[in-house]
Amino acid sequence: MSLGASTNRTIVTTADSSQGGSSASSGGDNASEKALKGNNASTSDGSISVAGAVAVSTDTGDTKAYIDNGTVNSGAGATSVTAATVDNATVTANGSSTAKGATGVGVGVGINVAVRNADAYLTGTDGVTAGSLTVHIIAPDQTSFTTTATSGAGGASNVGVAGSLAVNVVVLHHNAYIDDGAVVTLSGNPNVTVEADANVVNTAKAEPADGGGDATKVGIGASVAFSYGEDTTAGYIGNSATLSGANGLTLTSNSVHAMDTDASSGGKGGTAITPVVAISVADDDAHTTVGAGSNLSIGGNFQASSSLTNNVANSAKGDTKSSSTGVGISIAVTVVNDSSLSTTYSDLLAGGAGPP
């Protein structure tokens, strides 16, 4: 008997500013240009050209497979409860402005938010007859969340401002388990496997299209990239759970992560200002545990293992070119708070010795 749930999502969100920004129309009658003219958007040196792009994606939802107060008879065959998820969300914001005016502003903002849960479990009072029982969160392919924000202010004759903001916030849960207080009675002396797998990549990039803020007098190029990744990958037995009739019990969690945060920009002019900030925060947890007050009777081996790998790259690069005054500030901050744990909070009765 196989009980499974799966989701496979591809989300693409793109925002592109009009070529040349707000002054791109030959007749001077596009909506943004009318708004600028109607509000007298100009300086003493001439007109203002503005390009802006904002792209936002939100990815939420649950993927669940479970047995709740059920009786399953697979004979000598296998019983499996599985949930599989793959998400690929891409956000692109291109705020390049190529128009030449007294003041050029090109801003791109990309925001990618994901809150996703995957659960496979047994709950309530269940009876299972089988040669094996598997409860598994599957990662059939890599899950990725990518945000790119691009700025560019063109060749303004007075003030050029280029700004890009890329934000990735990803919170995930991958849980395979026997629920708190569940009573699972097994027949057929099956081996039991409870396993959770995750494979996730987060990427945030804030960059200039043409070197950043470029103007004769003042050039400002600002880029901020922020990545936050939080994932729990767990294969566990809950508190006060009862499992009887198992031959062997194996608990496994495998969590693979990568994070790439890159902010770059430049400022060019008589006065050039280039603030660049890249921030990466990784808070991932992988664990296999047996909860407090649980009652497990295992005829064979008990094995529990947990592994977590994370590759975090963080970069802030600025390029300031000035004939008079130049201010370049690049800040890169990385915070990694990852944990991997295997333990039991209850006594175990196992007939096999298990691996050394």
Higher-pLDDT residue of 326 and 301 is 301
Six-digit token pair at 146?
């990518």
pLDDT at 188 > cutoff 80 = yes
Beta-carbon contacts of 347 under 8 Å, excluding residues fewer than 6 positions away, are none
In a domain, 299, yes or no: yes
Six-digit token pair at 338?
């990852």
Six-digit token pair at 281?
């925060």
Q: What's the alpha-carbon Rg for the chain, to the nearest Å?
A: 27
pLDDT of residue 31: 56
Its domain, for residue 285, covers: 2-38+47-350
In a domain, 355, yes or no: no
What span, in angstroms and rounded, lies between the C-alpha atoms of 4 and 288? 22
Tell me what the mean pLDDT of segment 264-277 comes to. 70
* Domain tally, the chain: 1
Report the Cα–Cα distance between both ends of the chain, in Å, rounded. Answer: 33
Position 43: which residue type?
T
In a domain, 356, yes or no: no
Q: Express as a percent the part of the chain with pLDDT over 70.
A: 77
Six-digit token pair at 178?
């026997």
> Which of 151, 170, 97 has its CA nearest to residue 275?
151
Q: Model confidence over 208-238: pLDDT tens digits?
A: 876 544 444 445 778 889 999 999 999 999 9
Reported as a pLDDT band with limits 50, 70 and 90, residue 94 is confident
State the Cα angle at 17 between 11 and 19, rounded to 5°: 130
Six-digit token pair at 287?
């664990």
Higher-pLDDT residue of 50 and 149 is 149
Reported as a pLDDT band with limits 50, 70 and 90, residue 100 is low
Higher-pLDDT residue of 48 and 270 is 270
Six-digit token pair at 245?
């009739």
Contact 246, 132 (CB under 8 A): no
In a domain, 126, yes or no: yes
pLDDT at 14 > cutoff 70 = yes
What span, in angstroms and rounded, lies between the C-alpha atoms of 142 and 306? 19
3-state secondary structure of 302: strand
Residue 294 CB neighbours (<10 A): 24
Beta-carbon contacts of 140 under 8 Å, excluding residues fewer than 6 positions away, are 6, 84, 86
pLDDT at 162 > cutoff 60 = yes
